[in-house]
Amino acid sequence: MNDLHARYQAALQRYERPLIRYALGILPQLEDAQDVVQDTFLTLHRHLATLDADRLAPWLFTVCKNRALDHRRKNHRLIPMETATLELEATPEPAPDVQLDQRETAATLRRLIDQLPDRQREAVRLKFLAGLDYKQIAETMKTSIGNVGYLIHHGIATLRQHWEAQEITATH
């Protein structure tokens, strides 16, 4: 039982914050995202003894996604996310003007990510918000590693184009 406890604690330490960031891409409220992640870890606790360690990350992100989508459907919360940058890492406080810039940039980036096609949006969130590698993303999305690379490449290219177009519009 001690080994299971250690595995659970290690999973909690490694994946709690990435899962919260991931859930925030689906749900607009931090509290809802935290509830979904807590439910995900309760589910992990029930299944940890039978779960293959190599499949842990894809399993966690799949469960988290399903719980978040269920929560969103249940609560009819289809409001676009306009929250400030989620500071999940302990960092020194930047100056207020820097904080404002960061929040505006994060809000813009989240809005642009939300405009991507579903599969591209999912791959980009799993890579950059959740920190999964291509293999884990492929397992989570039930696709090939090559397709993950394609989705991320095209998602980033689209984000870059939209960002540049927005910058040009803002300067004129």
Q: Model confidence over 51-72: pLDDT tens digits?
A: 888 889 999 999 999 999 999 8
Cα 131 to Cα 20, 78, 94, 100, 136, distances in angstroms: 12, 25, 24, 25, 10
Q: Would you state the pLDDT for residue 72? A: 87
The tokens for 50 are: 């039978």
> For residue 86, is pLDDT > 50?
no
The pair of structure tokens assigned to 169 is 């519009």
With tokens 């791959």, the residue in question is 123
Confidence tier at 76 by pLDDT (50, 70, 90): low
The mean pLDDT value for 36-59 works out to 90
pLDDT digits (tens, 9 = 90+) for 132-163: 899 999 999 999 999 999 999 999 999 888 88
State pTM to two decimals. Answer: 0.62
Angle (CA) 55-61-65 rounded to 5° is 145
Q: Which helix (H) or strand (E) holds 9?
A: helix 2-24
List the domains of the chain with CATH numbers. 1-79 (1.10.1740), 95-172 (1.10.10.10)
Residue 66 is given by DSSP the state H
> Which residue in the block uniquely carries the two structure tokens 């799949």?
62
- Give the pLDDT score at 83: 41
Q: Which residue has the tokens 């090939």?
A: 144
State yes or no: pLDDT of 19 exceeds 60: yes
Which of 75, 66, 72, 20 has the alpha carbon at shortest distance from 43?
Answer: 66
